[in-house]
């Protein structure tokens, strides 16, 4: 079985990625609950692999992670 993937932007201004709405499939509009995989792209970027259970379409999203400042 072959797979098709593309990178989609998920820039959400002033919202934490965990609080944002979960993605829907751009092909069949089915909602997605959890990413199939995740990986650190750099120290401040995480990419997520999403695959639709309904139609099999796959795509990747990337999220910028804010650096935490630790106060002593």
pLDDT, one tens digit per residue, over 3-60 is: 666 666 655 555 555 555 678 899 999 988 899 999 998 888 999 999 999 999 999 9
Instruction: Give strand pairing partners of 8.
Output: 61
CA distance 62 to 49: 9
CA distance 67 to 30: 33
pTM: 0.61
Give the SS3 label for residue 19: helix
């Amino acid at each position: 079985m072959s797979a098709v993937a593309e990178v989609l932007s998920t820039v959400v201004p002033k919202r934490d990625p965990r609080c944002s709405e979960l993605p829907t499939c751009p092909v069949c509009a089915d909602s997605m609950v959890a990413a199939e995989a995740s990986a650190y792209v750099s120290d401040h970027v995480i990419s997520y692999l999403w695959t639709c259970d309904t139609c099999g379409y796959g795509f990747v999203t990337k999220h910028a992670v804010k650096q935490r400042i630790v106060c002593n």
